[in-house]
Amino acid sequence: MMKKIQRFGGAMFTPVLLFSFSGIMLAITILLTNQSIFGSLAAPNTLWFGVWDTLEQGAWTVFNQIELLFVVGLPIGLAKRASGRAAMEALISYLTWNYFIAAMLTHWGAFFGVAKYSSPLVANSTNSGLKMIAGIKTFNTSIIGALLIAGIVVYLHNKYFDYKLPAALGTFQGSSFVVILSFFALLPMAFLTCLIWPKIQMGISSLQTFMASSGTLGVWIYCFLERVLIPTGLHHFIYIPFQYGPAVVPDGLTKWWLGNLATFSNSKESLKTLAPQMGFLLYGNEKVFAMPGIAMAFYVTAKKNRRKEVAALLIPATITAMLAGITEPLEFTFLFVAPVLWLVHSILAATLDATLYFFGVVGDLSGGIIDMAGKNWIPLFQNHWTTYALQIIIGTIFAFIYFYVFKYMILKFNYATPGRDDVEEVTLKSKKDYLANKKGESTSTSPYEERATAYLEGLGGKDNIETVTNCATRLRVTVKDLSLVKSDSFFKQNKAAGVVHHGEALQVIVGLDVPQVRDKFEELMGH
């Protein structure tokens, strides 16, 4: 079971690796369009603003279309063969599922508890749990819906993609057959989604009144749910009514805070006295302080020979989280391989925010450093610098708490976080080794093809390969005859970091360029 979970987690890296660049671009563009920092230069009607805002909108692509990203990404990592076709099948099936939901809500919305389905969607609103996905007005099931549907399609693809139909029905073989099966499987799935999802949403919204009137405890519960529900997409039902809706103040806390910013800036009273309700916008602190602690725990628990590779993965993700408040690149690296860590993370994050609130730290602290600086630190520093000094002190303490807790749990339970592969140390090559390799160098013009050719040979040739997939760094292969597989040293001589053995299931540690190697590997197999 654990192998399956880890394989699933590895597949998540396919889309997650796209987050880092987009997050860094968002951090840069948000900074450059902040009027609190750049003044009139960043006014909405300037050329400066227009250029950077255009880049910002492009940078939001992977985050705004996160459902489609995971729908396509999961089959790439989990399909046993023809992963490109599996991704196409998953995309079509996911859209079909959402069209089914849209049609059912159009005709019977009141029956399912969505009486206002026909109402237009409003920005910064829960919109009765509805969202536009690829032009379809449907339930906001976030990545949970995406992973569920993609998982069903991957199962059908692996089982029926090669299924031989009668000659008269031959045109429906392959991808067409998988999509047909998905079509009829997802119709009842859509019905169940319409039946169950609104009730889940109602249960969450019933907690809002309690949280808004419960002081420090309410802040803890609020921040815990905001964090722990992120994988489901239901966290929107936690923060949106507070931040943009009427859960606490009529027009939402963000608008209220910005409207009173001048008053707070000129007052010497504590911010908690002036704006106690702003304790519900503290969840950006885990983005700024928790992420470095988690990243450092991943780094120190990684194998020494893998730390350089791990650092290359963690540094941009951590910078993205701290500056832009985009935590998915880092959080998703452990969400699927070690779900218990996600629960611990949510508990620690809530405790951090509740502690800050208890000691008087409040404000619109829901984003990263750039957002915090623009909405809090810069305009309020003169009279409230002690509050922000306290914020940094408490946050730094929790960064160390995160580090030690995550380090302990990773080592104690041997979680498969980045760089924890149990492989031998990679050794440096001598000049003699280099010259020897040059003499026997392949004539291949592609380094990926060269490695793929070697790995295919080492695995006993194409006739010995039963299945081939990959995760973030590994080529995962099931062989028919284990006796035909060459020694681990052969793979290491051909730039593999090592080989992990699970009977006939072998994992060749290739590195972050494993997608390119797998593509060449499958080409050599004739796929």
What is the rounded distance in angstroms from the CA atom of residue 152 to the CA atom of residue 468?
A: 19
Most confident listed range (72-81, 264-273, 281-290, 332-341): 281-290
Q: Residue 11: what pLDDT? A: 59
Dump the DSSP string for 116-164. TTTSPP-TTS-GGGEEEETTEEEE--HHHHHHHHHHHHHHHHHHHTTPP
Q: Residue 310: what pLDDT? A: 87
Average pLDDT over the chain reads 83
345 closest CA partner among 393, 301, 298: 298
Q: For residue 13, is pLDDT > 70?
A: no
Q: For residue 433, is pLDDT > 60?
A: no
Of residues 32 and 11, the one with the higher pLDDT is 32
510 closest CA partner among 491, 482, 487: 491
Q: Residue 245: what pLDDT? A: 64
Q: How confident is the model at residue 438 (pLDDT cuts 50, 70, 90)?
A: very low
Arithmetic mean of pLDDT, 187-194:
95
Arithmetic mean of pLDDT, 270-299:
94
Arithmetic mean of pLDDT, 51-65:
88
Active site residues: 471
Tokens of 23: 């997050």
Of residues 177 and 526, the one with the higher pLDDT is 177
Q: Residue 527: what pLDDT? A: 67
Q: For residue 465, is pLDDT > 70?
A: yes
Most confident listed range (70-84, 117-131, 281-295): 281-295
Measured CA distances, 261 to 44, 244, 265, 271 (Å) = 20, 17, 6, 11
Ordered by where they begin, the domains of the chain are 2-205 (no CATH), 208-413 (no CATH), 431-525 (3.30.1360.60)
Share of the chain above pLDDT 90, in %: 35
Which has the minimum average pLDDT: 42-46, 228-232, 411-415, 477-481?
A: 228-232
Q: How confident is the model at residue 8 (pLDDT cuts 50, 70, 90)?
A: low
Cβ atoms of 278 and 257 closer than 8 Å: yes
Q: Residue 467: what pLDDT? A: 81
Q: For residue 428, is pLDDT > 50?
A: no
**Each residue of 323-373: pLDDT tens digit?**
988 887 788 778 767 889 999 999 999 999 999 999 999 999 988 998 898
Tokens of 458: 């080492």
Q: How confident is the model at residue 424 (pLDDT cuts 50, 70, 90)?
A: very low
Arithmetic mean of pLDDT, 250-272:
84
**Each residue of 135-185: pLDDT tens digit?**
999 998 877 788 899 999 999 999 998 888 888 887 888 899 999 999 999
Cite the DSSP H helix spans in 325-377: 328-335, 339-358, 369-372
Tell me which residue has tokens 């319409």: 194
**Each residue of 100-113: pLDDT tens digit?**
999 999 999 989 98
Q: How confident is the model at residue 10 (pLDDT cuts 50, 70, 90)?
A: low
Arithmetic mean of pLDDT, 214-239:
83
Which has the minimum average pLDDT: 11-20, 239-248, 274-283?
A: 11-20
